[in-house]
Amino acid sequence: MMKWLKVPEAEAVRVNHDKLSTLITRIFTRFGIAEEDAAVCADVLVLADLRGVDSHGVSNAVKQIYVPALKDGRINPKPKITIPFETATTAVVDGDQGMGMIAGKFGMDLAIKKAHETGVGFVTVRNSKHYGMAGYYAMMALPHDMIGWSMTNSGPGVVPLWGREAMLGTNPIAIAAPTKNEVPFVFDVATSTVAAQKVAIAGILGVPIPEGWAVDPEGNPTTDPLAARESRALLPLGATREQGGHKGYGLAVIVDIFSGLLSGAGYSKELQMRQVGHFFGAFRVDAFRPVDEFKEHMDRMVRALGATPPVKGHDKVYVAGEPDHESELERRQNGIPLHRDVVAYLRDLARELDVVPDL
């Protein structure tokens, strides 16, 4: 799972997830966010770290995304979330330029509520911000015996196939499906070859990125993470036509249609001041077939895939969600490995905001 992109244990500080969540909650409240909303934001970020999605966790997102935007006013700490349009199965939510996690949880809760009432629920969100890990919202459907769907667009940072100018966002797609005894299926991927935050982490660690991730300012493929950060131009999933780049390109446009055009936020190139759009869906399993039958069928499929003989050099075949689940179990027990520089930054930020930095 790209271990080279993880923080080396020699440079890591293992932090208890509950203490980290408490600290992030207190930091966000100092910026004027209501405590309940701040706790939601912290929960999204810390769960990403627990599940090994470090690019969308505390390490990168607090310093690089949320704190700068809260300081300069790009994020409204006290949004008044509204529903401008609604039907029995659909709704449009306005996030009032608040934290994306606040509007995201509101939107997915509403989709789940509508699914309880009608069988399915679909909600778009506009005037929102970066909402963290897409899988968080899809997973919210699992305790309700529902299939969850979450997507978001973002500002331009991905070139279309054969293009030189960034026109699309990384535009992730996440789908979660419940199981009975096996680990739930949780698919959460960017429609670019890689999430932009992974390039940022590579730059911090001083390691090259693989070919096919990004281009330099002249549009040439590069393995230099700093050149990739300068160009802000990733490649679509697949990278080249021969490797299926048209598929990632098409999927990114689909996310823009659902998240940006249906909500009215606009497609990636049109987005202003990172005011992004989201899309959430919830499907009640028993609107299609008995829940136990479906979940037992999911178990059989997951077990069959996991029983596939692995190729040399690998211990087993994984199903989406299993590596994240293993990471979550390990990190809940042993702590989240944060780079020591990140821990120092969090402690300095806490003191600046008159918060006790208890990690």
Confidence of residue 175 (pLDDT cuts 50, 70, 90): very high
Domain 80-193+234-320 bears CATH identifier 3.40.50.920? no
Tell me the mean pLDDT in the region 60-70: 91
pLDDT band at 4 (very low <50, low <70, confident <90, very high): low
pLDDT level of residue 2 (50, 70, 90 thresholds): low
Radius of gyration of the chain from its Cα atoms, rounded to whole angstroms: 20
Domains 1-78+335-359 and 80-193+234-320 share a fold: no
Residue 202's pLDDT band (cuts 50, 70, 90): confident
Split at pLDDT 50, 70, 90, the class of 240 is: confident
Q: Is 319 exposed, middle or buried (0-12, 13-18, 19+ CB in 10 A)?
A: buried
> In the numeric block, which tokens belong to residue 47?
């769960």
Does domain 1-78+335-359 bear CATH number 1.10.1530.10? yes
Q: What is the pLDDT of residue 1?
A: 44
What predicted TM-score, i.e. pTM, was given to this entire model? 0.93
At 6, the pLDDT band (50, 70, 90 cuts) reads: confident
Closest CA to 99 of 49, 157, 37, 29: 37
Read off the pLDDT of residues 119-150 as tens digits, 9 standing for 90 and up: 999 999 999 999 999 999 999 999 999 999 99
Q: Are 356 and 24 in contact (CB under 8 A)?
A: no
Q: What are the tens digits of pLDDT across the range 145-172?
A: 999 999 999 999 999 998 889 999 999 9
Q: Where are the domains of the chain?
A: 1-78+335-359, 80-193+234-320
Average pLDDT over residues 288-294: 98
The pLDDT score that the predictor gives to residue 8 is 80
Spatial neighbors of 167 by CB under 8 A, at least 6 apart, are: 156, 158, 159, 160, 268, 269
